[in-house]
Amino acid sequence: MNHEPLLARGLAALDFDISSGILDKLIQYLDEIERWNPLYGLVSAEGEDLVIKHVLDSLSPWRVLAELLASLDSSIARNGMATVIDIGTGAGFPGIPLAIAFPERPFVLIERLEKRVRFLESAITLLGLSNVEIRQGTAENEQEAFQCVVFRALRPFGDKKLFRSIWKKIQPGGALFAYKGRLMHARLELAELSEDAVLGNLAARAQIVSVWVPFLEEERCVVIARKA
C-alpha cells in the first residue's frame, strides 16, 4: 500500500512540517514493519489502520509531550535534555515516531522479546536514528532512574505490581506519560489506585488530557503524572 498520501495529510493535520524529512522516515519505518511483519508478527494492523492507529496515534499528543519535556529539561535534566524511556515499545510505538519527531531528544526503547529487539535495531540503523538506544528487558530490570517514561498499550494501571515498580524508578521531578483510550476508562483506572500506598501519589498527581488522532473517531487521551 502507498502510505504517503494518508500519512502526509495526517502529519499536516497535526501541524508537522512534512518538508523536514519526517514523512520520508515514517514511510521507511512503515515499509520495514510490513517487510518484517509476516515472519515476526510485530503488529496486527495493516494498511490505513497501521498509519492511523499506530503512527498518527503515537504522534497525536506531541505538543503536550513537548511542553512536558521543556519543563523537565529546565528542572531535572543534568545535561539540559531529559531522556524519554519507552517501556514495552513492541514494534517501536510510540518511541520511534516520537524519536523521528524529536531528533535532538535522547530516547531509550525497552522491549522484552528478542525478535522485536532485532527488528528495532535494524529499523533505527536503517532510519539513521542516532538518538535512539534499544534495550532488551523490562522496566522492572532497569537500574537507572527514569526522567520521563512513556508507554502505549502496555497494561492497565490496575497491574499495581508493575506500576509500583515503574513509579518508584521515576526520579523526583520526573514524569509518567501514558497513552490511553477513553477518558472515562482512564479516570476509572486512576480511581482504583487512590488507596494504594505507592500509587495513590501517582493518582493524586495525574492529569488527563484529551488528544485528537486524525481520521480516528475513537476517543484518545494521555495521563501525565509528575513525581513530587
Where residue 166 sits, what CATH number does that domain have? 3.40.50.150
Strand pairing of 107-111 and 146-152?
unpaired
In a domain, 5, yes or no: no
93 is in an annotated binding site: yes
Number of folded domains that form the chain:
1
**What domain range includes position 216?**
61-226
189 is in an annotated binding site: no
Tell me, yes or no, whether 118 lies in a domain. Answer: yes
Name the pairing type of β-strands 107-111 and 132-136.
parallel
Is residue 191's pLDDT more than 80? yes
Q: pLDDT per residue over 131-182, tens digit each?
A: 999 999 999 899 899 999 999 988 899 999 999 999 999 999 999 999 999 9
Half-sphere exposure of 179 (CA within 13 A, CB side): 26
Amino acid letter for position 173:
G
Residue 88 assigned to a binding site: yes
Q: Which residues of 85-96 are buried (b: 16+ CB within 10 A; e: fewer)?
A: bbbbbbbbbbbb
pLDDT score recorded for residue 153? 86
Residue 7 is assigned to a structural domain of this protein: no
Asked if 26 contacts 55 with a C-beta cutoff of 8 angstroms, the reply is yes
pLDDT of residue 19: 85
The answer to whether 175 is a known ligand-binding residue is no
Q: What is the pLDDT of residue 18?
A: 87
Domain annotation covers residue 42 = no
Whether residue 3 is contained in a domain is answered as no
- 47 carries a ligand binding annotation: no
- Cα dihedral 180, 184, 185, 191, rounded to 10, equals 110
* Assigned domain for 178 exists: yes
Q: Report if residue 29 sits inside a domain.
A: no
Q: Are 166 and 105 in contact, with CB atoms under 8 Å apart?
A: no
Position with higher pLDDT, 203 vs 77: 203
The answer as to whether 88 is a domain residue is yes
